[in-house]
Chain A
Amino acid sequence: MSDLFPRWYNQLPLKIALGLLVSAVVVSAGVWYYLTPKYSRVGYQPIQPVPYSHATHVGQLGLDCRYCHTGVESSWYANIPSPSVCMNCHSQVLPNDPHLAPIRDSVKTGAPVPWVQIHRTSDFVYFNHAVHVNRGVSCVSCHGQINKMVEVRHEQSLTMAFCLDCHRNPAPNIRPLDQVYNMTWTNDPARQLEAGVRCVRDWKIRSSHNCSACHR
C-alpha cells in the first residue's frame, strides 16, 4: 500500500498552498497595478481625426480655454467646439491645409467631426465643470499642462481617490479666479498653501466628501 502514495506526496498540500498563495499574490498585484486607472488611463492619447495642437493654439498663440470650450463656465459639460469656431480663423489662416479637411467637410456637409473622447467619468458620477472653474480650481489641476500638449493626453487618473484627495484638502488647488484659465500660473508652494487656505475660508468652500456630492 505504501507504494500507492510516494513520500513526496506528504508535502503536496503545502506545495499546493504555497503555489496558490504565490499565484494569488501575483494575480492581485497584476490586477492592482494594471487594471487601475492610473495605469490604464493616464497617458491615454488616442489619435484624433484632426491633429489639433493645444501647444500651438494655447501655448504659443495664447487662446483662452473658453474661446472654444464655451460651456465650461455655465454647464457641467465643457463642450467640444463646433467646426465653425475653427473656421473663424482658419477661413483666413491655412485655409487649404490638408489636415483641416475634416473640419471644412463638416462645415460643408453638416456631419460632425468624430473626436475621440479622452476624459470620461462613469455614468454614475455627476462631475460639474462650472462649479469648479467658478470657484478657483484651474483646468490644469485635472487636465495637466494642456498648453504643452501637442496632442491631448490623459494626465491625471481622475479616479474617486483623485477627486477625494482634493475635496478633502482643496487649498493647494484653489487659485485667484482670474488665474483659473492661465495654464502657466504658478505660486510657490508655501505661499500657495497659505493663499489657498485663505480662499477656502473666505469663499466658504466646503468641498463635500459626502456621496451625494457626485452620486445621485
Chain B
Amino acid sequence: MNPSSANTPQPPTGPRYWRSLDELAETPAFRQWVEREFPEGATEWRDPVTRRHFVKIMSASFLLAGLGMTGCRRPEENIYPFSKMPEDYVHGVPQFFATAMPSRGGAQSLLVKSLDGRPIKIEGNPQHPFGMSGTDRFAQASILNLYDPDRAIRFVRQGNKATREAAMGFLAATAKDLAASGGEGVCFLMEQSSSPSRARLQELISSRYPKVRWFTYEPVDLSVVRQAATEAHQTAGLSLFCRLDRAKVIVSLDSDFISGEEDGARLMRDFARGRRIEKPTDNLSRLYVVESLMTLTGANADHRLRLASSQICALTARLAAEVLTQAAASEAGELVAALQSVNLPADVKPEWVKECAKDLLANRGACVVLAGHRQPLAVHLLAQAINRALGNEGRTVELFSVAEPKTGTIQELSMALNAGEVKTLVICGGNPVYNAPADLNWTATQRKAKTVVRLGYYEDETTAVCDWHFPAAHYLESWGDARTSDGTMVSVQPLIAPLFGGLTELEFLARLAGLEPFNPYEIVRETLRQRAGGVDFEECWKRFLHDGFLAGSTGRHVDAPFNWAKVAEHVRVLDTALKPSKDKLEVVFHRDYSLDDGRFNNNGWLQELPDPITKVTWENVILLSAKTARELGVYFENPERGRLHVPRAKIELDGRQIEGPVWIQPGQADYTVGLALGYGRQKTGRVGQQSGFNAYRLRASKSPHFAGGATLKAAGQQQLVAVTQDHWAMEGRPIVREANLESFREHPDFAHKMGLDAHEPHVGALYPHPHAQNPAMKGVHQWGMVVDQNACVGCAACVIACQSENNIPIVGKDQVARGREMHWMRLDRYFSVAPEDKELAAPQVVNQPMLCQHCENAPCENVCPVNATVHDEEGLNLMVYNRCVGTRYCSNNCPYKVRRFNYFDFNRRPLDQLYRGPLAPGGMPDLVQMVKNPDVTVRMRGVMEKCTFCVQRIEQAKIARKIKARDSGDVRVPDGTITPACAQACPAEALVFGDVSDPNSRVSRIKEQSRNYSVLGFLNVKPRTTYLARIRNPNPAMPDYAQQPLSLAEYSREHGDPMTEGHAPGAGKGGR
C-alpha cells in the first residue's frame, strides 16, 4: 500500500492476487474507488503509513484511551478573552453595519450582520430613501464571494508570487514614471462605477497627467438608457429613474426590468406595489411586454408579445406613431412623419399595438414605457419620446443629472493597442480576456502593451496575460462610496479587514498615480468633505457611515427640454433588419439570472440556483422555441421522470462557433437563440470550472446584444442537464389559483370554490392525529405565513437568502440531477398554454414559492419512527437533527415535497469528494466555513432538514422580548419583530410572517382576504403557510385577451368553472 511501490514497477515476488485489472494497474481511478465509501476505512491505509504502522498506532491509542479514560473527558479547550476589550462590543451579540454593494452604474444600500467580527448575512438597508429591507439575489450571494477560497490571495508577477513590498514598490515606480512622462502611453481600462470618489480620483489623475487615457468596458452594458436620456434631452449626464408603483400601465420593450436591468431589486419592489391588491375594488397596474426571450418580466406580463429582438424597434416605432399622433406637441411633427414610414412586423396584429397605445393614452401621466438594454438607442429614444408626450416625465419617470467622467470604449482601446500607443495598460476589475468582443482578439491585443497591470478579484483568464496581478478587496473589506439609482450617495464601509491583503480600487489608483493619501478611508473622507461643504464634517461623516447614505443627496427631477428632432434623426436611420428565419437565426445574448455577466461564476449558491425560468442549474443552455427546435431537428421530449438528457447543438455566427445543450423554452420568439453569458470559463475557481459554454465567443463589437445570420445544427450528442423542475404544467389542478381582475371583482371568493376546498370542512382527517394533544398548540404566539402570489415576481432572492441564513450547502450538478438539491425553499414555475397552442407559443407563467407549510396536522410527523420531527406549542413543525436516523419516511409522506435529505456530508466535503467514506478527511477549506451562521446547526450526513421558519430568529426575538420584559410578564413579541430570511430578502414584499393567533397582526389581516387559500388544503393537513390567489389584469380590448387565465381555463375544463354560480367542485369530470 505504499504509494512509492505503485509508481516504481517491481518484479513480482510470489503469488499476487487482484480483484480487477484496475487494481493490478493501480490506476488513479482505482485509488479513488478505494477512497470512496465502500470498502469502508480503506482510506486509512494509504500513503506512507504502512499497515503495520497503522495497527501499532491504533493499538497504542486504544490502550491509552482505555487506561487513561481520556475518552470520557472531553478534550481541554481554552477560552481566550480579549486582551483589550473593544468598546461597545458584547461577545455573541450581532452587530449591524450599513454599507453598499456597488454594481455597474449603481449600488444597493445594505445592512450587514456581523457576528464576532465576521460578516455573515446581508440585508437591505431600510433607512435608505428606498426603504427596502429586501435585496436582489446577487447581493445575498455576494457574501459567499468574500469567503471564496479561490479568490486572488497573492500578488503575482508574471505568473509567480511576489511579495507585497515588491508589488508596492512597482506601483511607486509606476507613479514616478507617470510623473516623468505626464501619462504618455498610460491607459486605464475600468469597469463602470458610480463611486464619487473614483470619479474624483480619475479627474485628479487626468488633471495632473493630462495624457492618461481612460476606457470603460462592461460586457453587459446597461447604460444605453442614460445615453438616450442625455441625447433626447440635450442635457449632459442624465439618468432615468422609473417609479413603477405610480404607473397604471407599464409597457416593456425587451426590458427585463425585473432583475435583468439596472436596479432590479427596487424596480421589483415598485412593480409589486403596483400589483398589490387587498380588496376586489382595488386597482392593479397592467403590464405589457414585448420580448424575444422568456424573461421574468414576461412571466409577470398581462399581455406578452413574443417578437425577435431585431423586430422590436419596428414595433416601437408603430407604438410611438400611435401615441404621438394623438398626444405629441407640435414640435414632434417631424418625428411623427418619420415614424409613418416604418411598417409593423408582419406577424404582429395591428390591434395589439393600437390597443396598447390606447391604454397608454388613457393613462397619461400614470404610465411608463421602458426599453431594455439590448435594444438600440433609437428604441430608447422612442420610449422616452412616448413618456414625454404622455406627460410621464416628472411623474412615473424622473430624470436625474449625474456627472460622469468621459471615457473611451474597449474598441478604441483596442485600436490604440494595435497602433502601439500603449506603454502601460492598467486593468481595474473586469475580465476582458474572457468577455471582450470576439472580433477584438483581446488576448493578443492586450499583449501589445509593454506592461499590463491588473487589479482583480480572481486569478482568471486575464491574469494569465498580465505582468502584474494585484488581489482586489471585496466590497465588505473596502472603504468606498457609490450612488444608488436615485442619486443618493451611499457609503461602503468594511466589515472586516482584507482577508488576504487585497487592495481597493481607490487605493490602487491612488498608489499607481502617486496621489497621497493612499488610504481609501482618507480618500472617501476627502470626497465627502468636498461634497458636504461647511457643515460639521465629523458629525456628517459619522452619520454617513451609520445611516449608510448621505441625507439630502437624493436626486431631484430635472425638467429638461426634449429634442424631438434628434429622435426623428435616429428614427430615419432605423435598422429594420430582416426577420430571422430557419437558416438565419437571431442570437440574443442575455445577462444570466445566476451569474450576471460571469462575475459570480465561482459562487456556488448562484451556480446551483435554478434559473427562474428554465430551472436549469450549473450551466447555460441554448434556448430555442419549440417550433424552431423541431425544424432544426433538435427537439426533445421531457422524460416523465428521471435524468434529463438533451441534444447538443452547434451554433455558427460569422465564422465563430460554439456548442452547447439545447433547451426548449415555451414562449420564446421563433428563430431566436437565447444564450446566457457568464459560463464556460477557462480559468476560474473550483466551483465554476466546467460549467456551461462561453457565449462571449460569438459576440462581436458590432452586435453585442443580438445578431442575425446564425446557423444551428445538431452536434449529434446528448448531454445531461441538471434541472430541478422537469414538469411544467399544473395539469388542471388548483395549485396556483388565478383569475382575471373582472371575474375576481364578481367572485371575490373564487379561490375557495376550487378543488375540494368547498368540501373541506366535511372531510375531516382519515385518522386522528396521534400528536393532536401532544403538544397542544397553546403557545403565546402561533406562527404562520402568507405568500402573496400577486406580488411575487419569481426572482429567487428568497432562495439565496435562505441558503445564507440557514447554512444550506450546495450539492453539485451531479447531485442536483439526482434530485438531491438542498434548498429549503424553491420556486415552482408553471407554464400553462391554450390546448390549441401546440408550439407553446403563448404560455402564461406563474411562480409559487414553496417551503415547509408547517402543517398543523403534519403528515411527516405521524410517520417518523423516532419522533425526530415534532410540533412545538407555537405551531412550528420542528426537525430534531439529533434524533433523525434518516429513514426519509417524512419526506415520502410530505405532500409538498419540501423536505431535504443530506445524502452526503455536503457541509464537510467539497463537491468532488462527496463519495469519500466517513473516515476520510473532510477537505472543506476553512474559509468556506466562515460564511456559516453560528446560530444554526450545520447538519451532517444522514439527517433530514427543512424550512424552520427561521426558528433561530424567532427564538432570539422571544428572548430579546423576555430580557426586556424582566419581571413584567409582557412577553408577547410585537407584530413585525420577526422576519424570516426569505421574507426579509424579498424585494417584492410578497412574504409576510407573523402571529396568526393575534387577529390584528399583519399576517392575520392578510389571511382574512378572500384570495387566501391553502395549497392542497383538501388533505386537511392545515398548513400554516397560505397563499393569496393571483389576479391578472388583462385588457379586454386586446386581441390576445382571454376571459380566464389559461391555468384557470384548464382547471375549468376538467372540473367546471368556479366562477359560475352554484358551482360545486367536482361537478365536472371529477377530481384527479
Partners in one complex: yes
- At the interface, yes or no: B810 with Cβ under 8 Å from chain A? no
Q: Is the CB of B81 within 8 A of A75?
A: no
A120 contacts B by Cβ under 8 Å = yes
Selecting from B662-670, B796-804, B947-955, the interface stretch reads B947-955
Q: Is B876 an interface residue (CB 8 A)?
A: yes
B872 pairs with A136, CB closer than 8 A: no
Contact B83 A107 (CB under 8 A): yes
Q: Which residues of B contact A115 (CB under 8 A)?
A: 78-81
* B532 sits at the interface (CB 8 A): no
Q: A40-B72, A117-B79, A134-B966 are in contact. Are A210 and B90 (CB under 8 A)?
A: no
Q: What A residues does B920 contact at CB under 8 A? A: none
Q: Does A199 contact B (CB under 8 A)?
A: yes
Q: How far is the CA of A124 from the CA of B807 in the complex (A)?
A: 14
Contact with B along A42-64 (1 / 0, CB 8 A): 00101000000000000000000
Q: Enumerate A131-158 residues with CB–CB distance to B below 8 Å.
A: 131, 134-136
Q: Does B573 have its Cβ within 8 Å of any Cβ on chain A? A: no
Other-chain contact of A120, B74, B880, B881, B966 (Cβ < 8 Å):
B74
B954 neighbours in A (Cβ, 8 Å): 212
Shortest distance from the beta carbon of B753 to any chain A beta carbon, whole Å:
37
For chain B, residues 949 to 1001, give those with C-beta under 8 angstroms from any C-beta of chain A: 951-952, 954-955, 959, 962-963, 965-971
Residue pair A124, B937 in contact (C-beta under 8 Å): yes
Return the chain A residue nearest B780 by Cβ: A206
State whether B967 touches A212 (Cβ < 8 A). no
A215–B880 touching, CB < 8 Å = yes
Q: Are the CB atoms of B966 and A210 closer together than 8 Å?
A: no
A162 CB within 8 Å of chain B: no
What's the nearest-Cβ distance from chain A to residue B969, in Å? Answer: 4
Q: Does A185 contact B (CB under 8 A)?
A: no
Which residues of chain B are near A106, meaning CB under 8 Å? 83
Q: Are A123 and B965 closer than 8 Å at their CB atoms?
A: no
The answer for the CA separation of A62 and B935 in the assembled complex, in Å, is: 35
Do A34 and B963 contact each other (CB < 8 Å), given the known contacts A75-B92, A202-B969, A216-B948? no
* Contact B92 A76, beta carbon cutoff 8 Å: yes
B91 near A82 with CB under 8 A, answer no
- Are A120's CB and B962's CB within 8 A? no
Q: B43-102: which residues lie under 8 A (CB-CB) from chain A?
A: 69, 72-74, 76-85, 90-93
Contact status A203-B83, CB under 8 Å: no
By a CB distance below 8 angstroms, the chain A residues around B93 are 71, 74-75
Q: When A124-B882, A210-B775, A216-B951 are in contact, do A77 and B92 touch as well, CB less than 8 Å?
A: yes
Residue contact A123 to B872, C-beta cutoff 8 Å:
no
Asked if B936 lies at the interface with its beta carbon under 8 angstroms from chain A, I say yes
Q: Are A82 and B963 in contact (CB under 8 A)?
A: no
Alpha-carbon gap, A123 to B940, bound state (A): 13
Interface check A83, CB cutoff 8 A: yes
Name the A residues within 8 Å of B78 (CB-CB): 114-117
Does residue B873 face the partner (Cβ distance < 8 Å to A)?
yes
Contact B967 A203 (CB under 8 A): yes
Contacts of B775 in A (CB 8 A): 209-210
CA distance A202 to B69 in the complex (A): 48
CA A116 to CA B870, docked complex, whole Å? 37
Q: Does A112 contact B (CB under 8 A)?
A: yes
A70 contacts B by Cβ under 8 Å: yes
* A79 adjacent to chain B (CB < 8 Å): yes
Contact of B878 among A199, A204, A210 (CB under 8 A): A210
Q: Please tell me which one of the listed residues A35, A71, A79, A211 contacts residue B880 in the complex, with CB atoms under 8 A apart.
A: A211
With the chains together, A212 CA to B877 CA distance in Å? 10
Write the A2-23 contact mask toward B (1 if CB under 8 angstroms, else 0).
Answer: 0000000000000000000000
Query: Measured between alpha carbons, how far is A86 from B369 in the docked complex, in Å?
Result: 68
Q: Please tell me if the beta carbons of A203 and B882 are within 8 angstroms of each other in the complex.
A: no
Given contacts A71-B90, A210-B878, contact A130 B959 (CB under 8 A): yes
Which residue on chain A has the smallest CB distance to residue B78?
Answer: A114
In the complex, what's the smallest C-beta–C-beta distance from B979 to chain A, in angstroms? Answer: 16
Check if B90 sits within 8 Å of A74, measured CB to CB. Answer: yes
Q: Mostly helix, strand, loop or mixed at chain B's interface?
A: loop
Closest to A79 in B: B91
**Which residue from A44, A82, A135 sits with its C-beta under 8 Å from B81?**
A82
Interface set, chain A 67-117, CB cutoff 8 A to B: 70-71, 73-77, 79-85, 106-107, 109-117
Give chain A nearest CB distance to B192 CB in angstroms.
Answer: 42
Contact yes or no, B90 A135, CB < 8 A:
no
A131 to B936, CA, bound (A): 19
Chain A interface, DSSP helix/strand/loop, else mixed: loop
Given that A81-B81, A106-B83, A113-B81 are known contacts, is A40 also in contact with B73, CB under 8 Å in the complex?
A: yes
When the two chains form their complex, are residues A46 and B83 in contact, meaning their CB atoms are under 8 A apart? no
Q: Which of B69, B80, B81 has the most chain A CB atoms closer than 10 A to its own CB?
A: B81
Q: Which residues of A contact B873 (CB under 8 A)?
A: 208, 210
Check B955–A177 contact: CB distance below 8 A: no
B882 cross-chain contacts in A, Cβ below 8 A: 124, 215
- Complex Cα spacing A4 to B76, Å: 57
Q: Which of A120, A203, A206, A211 has the most CB of B within 10 A?
A: A211
| CA A73 to CA B952, docked complex, whole Å | 19
Residue numbers in B under 8 Å from A206 (CB-CB)? 779-780, 971
Cβ of A84 and Cβ of B966 under 8 Å apart? no
- Distance A112 CA – B84 CA, assembled complex (angstroms): 9
Contact check, B959 vs A177: say whether CB atoms are below 8 A apart: no
A126 in the interface, Cβ–Cβ < 8 Å? yes
Q: Is the CB of B937 within 8 A of A75?
A: no
A209 to chain B: closest residue by CB: B775
Q: Kindly report which residue of chain A lies nearest to residue B937, judged by CB atoms.
A: A124
In the complex the two chains form, is A208's CB within 8 Å of B872's CB? Answer: yes
B84 touches A84 (CB 8 A): yes
Contact of A80 with B963 at beta-carbon distance under 8 Å, contacts A212-B878, A215-B882, A215-B937 already known: no
Contacts of A177 in B (CB 8 A): 966-967
B81 nearest CB across to chain A (Å) = 4
A209 to B774, CA, bound (A): 12
Asked if A211 meets B967 with Cβ closer than 8 Å, knowing A34-B72, A135-B962, the reply is: no
A24 within 8 A of B: no
> With A131-B963, A204-B969, A212-B876 known to touch, is A126 a contact of B72 (CB < 8 Å)?
no
Residues of B within 8 Å of A75, CB to CB, are: 90-93
The answer to whether A80 touches B81, judged by C-beta atoms less than 8 angstroms apart, is yes
Given contacts A70-B90, A74-B963, A82-B81, whether A203 and B968 have CB atoms under 8 Å apart is yes
CA distance A128 to B959 in the complex (A): 8
B968 nearest CB neighbor, chain A only:
A203
Within the complex, which residue of B81, B874, B881 is in contact with A124, where a contact is CB–CB below 8 Å?
B881
Closest chain B CB from A187 CB (angstroms): 16
Residues of B within 8 Å of A208, CB to CB, are 872-873
Q: Please measure, in the bound complex, the distance between the C-alpha atom of A87 and the C-alpha atom of B76, giving whole angstroms.
A: 27
**A residues less than 8 Å from B880 (CB atoms):** 211, 215
Q: Which of B912-957 contact A (CB under 8 A)?
A: 935-937, 948, 951-952, 954-955
Contact residue among B80, B90, B966 (Cβ-Cβ distance under 8 Å from A112) = B80
Known: A107-B83, A116-B78, A130-B963. A34 touches B69 (CB 8 A): yes
Contact B965 A203 (CB under 8 A): yes
Contact status A84-B955, CB under 8 Å: no
Q: Which 10 A/B pairs are nearest by Cβ-Cβ distance?
A: A210-B872, A77-B92, A112-B80, A75-B92, A204-B969, A80-B81, A82-B85, A114-B78, A131-B959, A216-B952
Pull 27 A–B residue pairs with CB atoms less than 8 Å apart, ordered by A.
A34-B69, A74-B90, A74-B963, A75-B93, A81-B81, A83-B83, A84-B84, A106-B83, A107-B83, A115-B79, A117-B78, A120-B77, A124-B881, A128-B959, A130-B959, A131-B963, A136-B967, A203-B967, A203-B968, A204-B970, A206-B971, A209-B775, A210-B873, A210-B878, A211-B870, A215-B881, A216-B951
Which residue numbers of B lie inside 8 Å of A, CB to CB?
69, 72-74, 76-85, 90-93, 775, 779-780, 870, 872-874, 876, 878, 880-882, 935-937, 948, 951-952, 954-955, 959, 962-963, 965-971
Q: Please give 18 more A-B residue pairs, beta carbons under 8 A apart, in addition to A82-B83, A109-B83, A208-B873.
A: A71-B90, A71-B93, A75-B93, A80-B79, A81-B85, A82-B84, A114-B79, A117-B79, A123-B937, A126-B955, A135-B963, A135-B967, A203-B966, A203-B969, A204-B965, A210-B775, A212-B955, A215-B881
